[in-house]
Amino acid sequence: MGHFDEKYLADGLELCRRLIECKALEIIDGERLKHLARGGIVGFKCADGKYAGDIADHIRCFTDEPHFLSLNGTALLLLPDMEEFAEDRRVLYKHAREAWAELKKGTTIVPLTHFPCGKAHKHDISLVANLLRTYDAAADIARELGVDRRVVVPMIHIHWNVIETTNGNPYKHCRTYKIKISCNTEAPRLWQQLTQAA
């Protein structure tokens, strides 16, 4: 979904690289994902046809119980501030409650955004805003599902291979990252640095 120019992609991937280096995005390796998914995952992920398969294949490597709910831009729809997505949000939470009731013990809830995201791009939601919205959605999910905030782990899946210039990137094989609280300050700060330097 969506068409992205090379500068948009390059700037976004560079921001991700810097966020990883300052530990605002935490690499989720295979063992960590297996631990998080030991009782299954109730997740919210984008249904973007170009990238959904890559995301699903990656997650399926770590759990036989990936209960992912998918609409275009799913993680972006979870906060109540965008009225146009109210019905989508209601449907997502209805099905998330059912999945949580079925799994519960040892289950992790994952709002999973990704970059690049066509829905975010279409609605002029920047990568910074996307990261912050996904992080903030974790608290909303905990309230809606009546669960401890600690079992909700906001993540981003980065498609490093969308442009040729990422071939030498040391992170290109590490695709899923936990969005940490420091992202709330580091993402806007680093983005400002990046755009001012351009």
pLDDT at 167: 52
d(CA 173, CA 84): 36
Number of domains into which the chain is organized: 1
Tokens 């295979």 sit at which residue? Answer: 30
- What is the pLDDT, as a whole number, of residue 168? 55
Task: Determine what percent of the chain is predicted with pLDDT higher than 90.
Answer: 38
Quick check: is 46 in a domain?
yes
Assess contact for 160 and 13: CB atoms under 8 A: yes
Cα–Cα dist 61/51, whole Å: 16
The answer to the question of residue 139 being in a domain is yes
Q: Write the pLDDT tens digit of every residue in 163-188.
A: 654 455 555 555 789 999 999 999 99
In the prediction, which pLDDT does 2 show?
54
Q: Which domain holds residue 189?
A: 6-197
Average pLDDT over residues 28-57: 75
**Any domain includes 1:** no
In a domain, 104, yes or no: yes
Q: Is residue 71 part of a domain?
A: yes
pLDDT digits (tens, 9 = 90+) for 96-126: 999 888 876 778 888 989 998 888 888 888 9
pTM of the model: 0.86
Cα–Cα separations (whole angstroms), residue 191 to 10, 182, 185: 12, 14, 10
Q: According to the model, what pLDDT value does residue 122 have?
A: 86
